């Protein structure tokens, strides 16, 4: 009798784990299926097989369910559909725009900033975003075995100035809770750490991933939990995403969002204002708005700095300060994200 609640919760956990794992193994990976699901006219799509050969189409179904039917310009669709424009060679765009290969002291560790570093915990993501700078990153070399994990942990243990480890990727939440729980447990034993951060798009694209088991190693750790989401458009947040985020928030997780400024997707201040309001409603504060990294294949998404600054200035005039993200870009060799300064124009009235 006394045992049955434990058995019940175990059953629920198994059910939860199966559900997200099924969801992440049942991705849409062909344009034909995407076109059919969305009732698109193939003639209207800038689809290109060659672009998909270079960086595969991968999209979880919950994310597709939030796209508008029969709309080739849907802002969510544009983020995942491989297009012919990706094949253009554009000056200034390269395979490794961040020169991360140079800040990679050990496999799986990217240490560029003071007091915090990245663990490349997974080589994969749940979704492949066409603008991603990691589309050309050598993930294979960053898939760690236990011995390499020990070395990465030793690196952190030996550097008492570190306060925070950031689980990044790929996307750390494609790993299972047994693997992540082990890692979080090891990190919690390192006395100079006080925070554990996750950078993930999974709670947006596959919200069933937020399970009790995940909360047990993340939210109940000695380390203060911070989750930085990646969401670019208000339509990415539906009731299921909101429910998952509420569980994280109620468990004490600090929720922040980083977005990438993308032409045709969110490059209007009204669109980003709606994103900020929707995030806030779901308990998430906007953190960064990134200028994209100039990786091959992403040029058609680029927004000029002057247009970006104008968008942010308009947001600042219309929203409370805490709903205006910091507009930044990453510059190789600089020890933090670099703010893109707003113009120091004379006072305007409008
Ligand atoms: C972005 C980034 C971080 C985190 O930076 P914050 O400003 O703390 O969010 C840490 N390390 C690397 C290498 C990064 O690119
Ligand atoms: S989820 Fe993040 S890391 Fe993964 S493909 Fe998208 S932008 Fe890149």
Q: What is the pLDDT of residues 117-174, one digit of tens each?
A: 999 998 889 999 999 987 876 555 556 888 999 999 999 999 999 999 999 988 999 9
Q: Which two tokens stand for residue 52?
A: 């998909």
- Which tops the pLDDT comparison, 43 or 101? 43
Q: pLDDT tens digits, residue range 291-324?
A: 999 999 999 999 999 999 999 999 999 999 999 9
Query: Ligand 2 centroid vs 49 CA: distance in angstroms?
Result: 20
* DSSP element (H, E) containing 32: helix 31-37
> Domain residues for 173?
100-345
- Looking at the structure, do residues 35 and 148 belong to the same domain, yes or no? no
- Which tops the pLDDT comparison, 280 or 140? 280
- Looking at the structure, do residues 78 and 200 belong to the same domain, yes or no? no
Q: pLDDT tens digits, residue range 284-297?
A: 999 999 999 999 99
How high is the pLDDT of residue 347? 56
Rounded CA gap, 311 and 302, in Å? 14
Rounded CA gap, 48 and 246, in Å? 38
343 has a pLDDT exceeding 80: no
Say if ligand 2 is within 6 A of residue 293 CB.
no
Quick check: is 220 in a domain? yes
Nearest residue (by CA) to ligand 2, atom 6, is 129
Quick check: is 308 in a domain? yes
Quick check: is 93 in a domain? no
Quick check: is 92 in a domain? no
Nearest residue (by CA) to ligand 1, atom 8, is 116
Q: Which two tokens stand for residue 174?
A: 């494609």
Q: pLDDT tens digits, residue range 39-80?
A: 998 887 777 788 888 899 999 999 999 999 999 999 999 999
Rounded CA gap, 258 and 255, in Å? 10
The last residue of one of the domains, among 87, 118, 139, is 87
Say if ligand 2 is within 6 A of residue 201 CB.
yes
How high is the pLDDT of residue 4? 43
CA distances from 35 to 130, 131, 196, 235, 250 (A): 17, 20, 39, 19, 38
The answer to whether 285 and 229 have CB atoms below 8 angstroms apart is: no
User: How big is the chain by its Cα radius of gyration, in Å?
Assistant: 20
How high is the pLDDT of residue 7? 45
Q: How many CB atoms lie within 10 A of CB 146?
A: 8
- Looking at the structure, do residues 332 and 196 belong to the same domain, yes or no? yes
Q: For the chain, how many structural domains are there in total?
A: 2
How high is the pLDDT of residue 297? 93
- Looking at the structure, do residues 243 and 288 belong to the same domain, yes or no? yes
How high is the pLDDT of residue 6? 44
Query: Ligand 2 centroid vs 136 CA: distance in angstroms?
Result: 12
The answer to whether 277 and 323 have CB atoms below 8 angstroms apart is: yes
219 has a pLDDT exceeding 70: yes
- Looking at the structure, do residues 63 and 193 belong to the same domain, yes or no? no
Say if ligand 2 is within 6 A of residue 64 CB.
no
- Looking at the structure, do residues 180 and 134 belong to the same domain, yes or no? yes
181 has a pLDDT exceeding 90: yes
- The arithmetic mean of pLDDT across residues 190-202, rounded, is 98
141 phi and psi, to 5 degrees? -75, -10
How high is the pLDDT of residue 345? 58
How high is the pLDDT of residue 12? 56
- Looking at the structure, do residues 186 and 133 belong to the same domain, yes or no? yes
Nearest residue (by CA) to ligand 1, atom 10, is 117
Quick check: is 95 in a domain? no
Question: How does residue 5 score in pLDDT terms, banded at 50, 70 and 90?
Answer: very low
- The arithmetic mean of pLDDT across residues 72-93, rounded, is 93
- Looking at the structure, do residues 28 and 151 belong to the same domain, yes or no? no
Quick check: is 321 in a domain? yes
- Looking at the structure, do residues 76 and 208 belong to the same domain, yes or no? no
Question: How does residue 16 score in pLDDT terms, banded at 50, 70 and 90?
Answer: confident
The last residue of one of the domains, among 34, 55, 87, is 87
Residue % of the chain over a pLDDT of 70: 91
- Which tops the pLDDT comparison, 261 or 42? 261
Quick check: is 350 in a domain? no
- Looking at the structure, do residues 12 and 116 belong to the same domain, yes or no? no
56 phi and psi, to 5 degrees? -65, 150
Tell me the pLDDT of the chain averaged across its residues: 91
Question: How does residue 15 score in pLDDT terms, banded at 50, 70 and 90?
Answer: confident
How high is the pLDDT of residue 133? 84
What is the DSSP-derived secondary structure letter of residue 102?
G
Nearest residue (by CA) to ligand 2, atom 8, is 132
How high is the pLDDT of residue 301? 97
What is the DSSP-derived secondary structure letter of residue 252?
T
Rounded CA gap, 89 and 298, in Å? 10
The last residue of one of the domains, among 58, 87, 116, is 87
Nearest residue (by CA) to ligand 2, atom 3, is 170
Give this prediction's pTM: 0.93
- Looking at the structure, do residues 112 and 158 belong to the same domain, yes or no? yes
Kindly list the protein residues whose Cβ atom lies closer than 6 A to any atom of ligand 1: 110, 112-113, 116, 118, 166, 336-337
Quick check: is 330 in a domain? yes
User: Of all atoms in ligand 1, which is nearest to the CA of residue 258?
Assistant: 9
Nearest residue (by CA) to ligand 2, atom 4, is 125
User: Of all atoms in ligand 1, which is nearest to the CA of residue 330?
Assistant: 15
**For the purposes of burial, counting CB atoms within 10 Å of the CB of 53, is it exposed (0-12), middle (13-18) or buried (19 or more)?**
exposed
- Looking at the structure, do residues 328 and 215 belong to the same domain, yes or no? yes
User: For the domain that residue 105 is a member of, what is the CATH number?
Assistant: 3.20.20.70
């Amino acid at each position: 009798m006394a045992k049955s609640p434990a058995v019940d919760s175990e059953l629920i956990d198994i059910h939860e784990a199966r559900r997200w794992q099924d969801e992440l193994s049942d991705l849409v990976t062909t344009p034909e299926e995407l076109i059919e699901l969305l009732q698109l006219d193939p003639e209207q799509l800038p689809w290109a097989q060659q672009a998909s050969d270079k960086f595969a189409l991968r999209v979880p179904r919950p994310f597709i369910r939030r796209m508008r039917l029969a709309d080739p310009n849907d802002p969510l669709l544009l983020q995942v559909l491989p297009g012919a424009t990706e094949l253009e060679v554009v000056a200034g765009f390269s395979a490794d725009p961040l020169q991360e290969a140079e800040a990679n002291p050990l496999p799986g560790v990217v240490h560029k900033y003071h007091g915090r570093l990245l663990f490349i915990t997974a080589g994969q993501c749940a979704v492949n975003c066409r603008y991603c700078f990691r589309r050309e990153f050598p993930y294979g070399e960053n898939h760690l075995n236990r011995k390499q994990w020990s070395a990465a942990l030793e690196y952190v243990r030996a550097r008492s100035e570190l306060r925070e480890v950031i689980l990044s990727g790929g996307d750390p939440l494609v790993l299972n809770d047994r693997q992540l729980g082990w890692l979080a447990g090891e990190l919690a034993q390192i006395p100079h750490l006080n925070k554990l951060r996750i950078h993930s798009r999974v709670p947006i694209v596959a919200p069933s991933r937020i399970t009790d088991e995940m909360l047990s190693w993340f939210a109940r750790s000695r380390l203060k939990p911070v989750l930085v989401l990646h969401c670019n458009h208000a339509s990415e947040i539906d009731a299921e995403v909101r429910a998952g985020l509420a569980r994280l928030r109620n468990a004490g997780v600090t929720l922040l969002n980083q977005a990438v400024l993308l032409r045709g997707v969110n490059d209007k201040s009204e669109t980003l204002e709606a994103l900020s309001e929707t995030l806030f409603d779901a308990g998430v504060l906007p953190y960064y708005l990134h200028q994209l990294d100039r990786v091959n294949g992403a040029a058609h998404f680029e927004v000029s700095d002057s247009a970006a600054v104008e968008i942010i200035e308009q947001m600042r005039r219309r929203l409370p300060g805490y709903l205006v993200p910091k507009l930044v870009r990453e510059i190789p060799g600089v020890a933090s994200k670099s703010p893109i300064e707003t113009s120091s124009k004379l006072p305007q009235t409008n």
